[in-house]
Structure 1
Amino acid sequence: MTRAQANLLLLAVALIWGSAFVAQAEGMAGVGPLTFTGTRFLLGTAVIAPLAWREWRQLSLRQAQPRPTDALGISALGVLLMLGAVFQQIGIISTTITNAGFLTALYVPLVPLLGWMLLRTPAHWSVWPTSIGCLAGTWLLSGAQGFEPVVGDLWVMASSIFWALHVIFVGRIAERLHAPFLIASGQFLVCGVISLLWALLSESITLSGVVQAALPIAYAGLVSVGIGYTTQVVAQGYAQPADAAIILSAETVFAALFGFLLMGDRLNANGIAGCVLILVCIVAVQIAPLAAAGRQALARRAQ
């Protein structure tokens, strides 16, 4: 696969993930957020399961199967994934697709910030101005209707914390296991099972509601979770990190586009300015460290 082909696949992933916000909103007409999340991630598990089984067999041949501590780690990832997905799903009930897409992306500057706070991982200087920029953009975007954030905006902003924690800790587990599909299917399974058990205790699930939400659930589960994640893993094996960072950030733009075309989302000048500011900060915090590393590498070669 060429670099250009990998970049096109990543663009397709961003398109899928951005369009999934519409499916998540439409699905709420028939089922609750916990039911939607549970069924969505169990469907995603089914898509990745064959790849995970192949990885398990390969690990078995090398006698490198996951240890009990690894299973606990994957389960913890599933809990973080569940909290992020459920909080986001609750927020989508009362906010717009555009707001949900951009506010979810706040996890990008939160990853290095929380990594520095929790793990003492050195943070690039760009984290600080981009974090401030994202806060300013969030204030403009969530306050687009009179500078008073709706409850849904707050739920989605809270979900970005769990997404960030998930990104931080999934990297640590992936470094040891080197089995991305096994990790993905395990965390998807934990997320789906816990969400559905919670739904049985707190939501009213009806056959008519499930039928009504069947198409959005299928799209969000099979296409967004299953195909989207798998394609991302494949494409990032051939794409440059800077390319992947920028292209996947387009998820927020696609969410806004589909919200405009299919859901009738409209933003005033403050909301548009907030979207632009958040997107600029998201791209900057991803490529600034890569650009600095590239300059250092060139300087070492010149010596």
Structure 2
Amino acid sequence: MKPLKADLLIFLVTIGWGSSYLFMKMGLGSLGEFNLIALRFGLAFIVAGALFHRRLRKVNLTTLRYAMLLGLLLFLTFTAITFGLKTTTTSNAGFLVSLTVVFVPLISSFIFKKKIENKLIISVILAMSGIAFLTIQLPFTFTIGDLLCMAAAFFYAIHIIVLGSAAQKVDTLNLGILQLGFAGFYGLIFSSIFETPVFPSTREGWIAILALSMVCSALGFILQAIAQKYTTPTRTGLIFSLEPVFAALFGFWFAQELMDTKQFIGAALVLLSVVVSTVNISHLKRSIHRRPISFE
């Protein structure tokens, strides 16, 4: 596969994940938060497992252990998002969860005792400024939904770091499929304790669950695993930075969520922080210096 085709697959995954905030909000109209998570990841695991059942026969204990941990991190991530969507908009959720790209190098620097790059400092300043524009309202308080979406970004950043370590030791496709199963299993446990697990009772609920499980989870994770073999992490990060843009567009088109001027400025700053954190500045400088100057 050529890099351009791989980038196109990543782009399609990004569109799907951008729509997930709207579908989660739709699903919450008829399902409990944990019930939604259980159905989303449970169905995704069944579909992905059926497609790659022969591959799953080679699963070992190390893969299962990593899958249990990654599934837990996914469960925590989407628990924070689904509860957060009750008191914030899909647009805000998309931009705040995109802070994952900023959290990853910050947490990595702390864990591995690496010096924080200047571009990361700039991206953090931009991100915090954007969050202020997006979420702070007089008398300068955050909504609980905004805070939960930022917590989701933190949990998913840890997920990415753990996955990066696990990918060097186990089959990543099996790991990706099994983590969906464990995330759904944790959702089912909590739904059984705090809710009454049910299937959707409305057409809107079924549309939300099927879109979340088939497109956003099963198809999304499989395509990502395939495509990332043929493109670079930097290019992938830049394409994924478009996710909040699609979240805002879906919120505008289908949920009539309007953003005021202050929120547009905040969204632009958060998006810029994500792009800055993924751009290789030294590589960019070398490319500029190597480019021939033409006076034609």
Normalising by the residue count of structure 2, what TM-score does the alignment of the two structures yield?
0.89
Deviation at 1:26, TM superposition (A): 0.3
Conserved in 2, the CA contact under 8 Å of 1:74 and 1:183? yes
Cα 1:146/1:295, change in 2 over 3 Å:
same
Give deviations 1:5-43, integer Å, cap 9, x for gaps.
222222211111111111000000000111001110111
Uncovered stretches (5+) of structure 2, i.e. residues with no partner: 290-296
Equivalents in 1 of 2:26, 2:260: separation in Å? Answer: 24
- The reply to whether residue 172 of structure 1 matches residue 200 of structure 2 is no
1:34 equivalent in structure 2:
34
* Equivalent residue letter for 1:163: Y
* Deviation readout 1:66-93 (Å, 9 max, x if unpaired): 3x34422221111111000111111011
One-letter code aligned to 1:214: W
Task: Kindly state the Cα deviation for residue 211 of structure 1 after the two structures are TM-superposed.
Answer: 6.2
Q: What's the offset of the Cα at 1:282?
A: 0.2
Aligned equivalent of 1:284: 276
Matched residue, 2:293? none
Measured against aligned partners, the alpha-carbon deviations of 1:166-196 in whole angstroms (never above 9, x if no partner) come to 011011001111x121101111111101111
Counterpart-to-counterpart distance in 1, 2:68 and 2:198 = 29
Contact 1:144 1:270 in 2 (8 A): no
Deviation at 1:122, TM superposition (A): 4.5
Give 2:43's aligned residue: 43
Is the counterpart of residue 98 in structure 1 residue 61 in structure 2? no
Residue of structure 2 in register with 1:10 after alignment: 10
Report what 1:87 is aligned to.
80
- Give how far 1:278 is off: 0.6
Hey, what's the Cα distance between the residues in 1 that align with 2:160 and 2:140?
Answer: 30
Contact 1:107 1:164 in 2 (8 A): yes
CA distance in 1, matches of 2:63, 2:198: 37
- In the aligned structure 1, how far is the partner of 2:41 from the partner of 2:276? 31
Q: Percent identity between the aligned chains?
A: 27
Q: Which residue in the other structure is 2:151 paired with?
A: 158
Higher helix share: 1
Q: 2:22 maps to which residue?
A: 22
The corresponding residue for 2:207 is: 215
1:1-303 aligned within 5 A:
1-50=1-50, 52-57=52-57, 60=58, 66=60, 68-143=61-136, 147-177=140-170, 179-206=171-198, 209=201, 213-288=205-280, 291-292=281-282
Q: Distance in 1 between matches of 2:193 and 2:278?
A: 41
- The unaligned stretches of length 5 or more in structure 1 are none
Partner Cα separation in structure 2 for residue 24 and residue 194 of structure 1: 18
Q: Quick one: distance in 1 between partners of 2:256 and 2:238?
A: 27
- In terms of mean alpha carbon deviation, does 160-169 or 146-155 score higher? 146-155
Distance in 2 (CA, whole Å) between partners of 1:46 and 1:194 is 15
- Contact 1:49/1:185 (8 A) holds in 2: yes
Displacement of 1:297: 10
Change beyond 3 A, Cα 1:120–1:51: farther
Contact 1:93/1:152, CA 8 A, preserved across alignment = yes
Alignment partners' CA distance in 1, 2:288 and 2:168: 27
Deviation string, structure 1 residues 250-290 (Cα, Å, up to 9, x no partner): 111000001011111111111111100010110110113xx
Aligned length: 289
SS at match of 1:237: coil
Coordinate RMSD, CA, aligned: 2.4
Please tell me whether the aligned partners of residues 119 and 277 of structure 2 are also in contact (alpha carbons under 8 angstroms).
yes
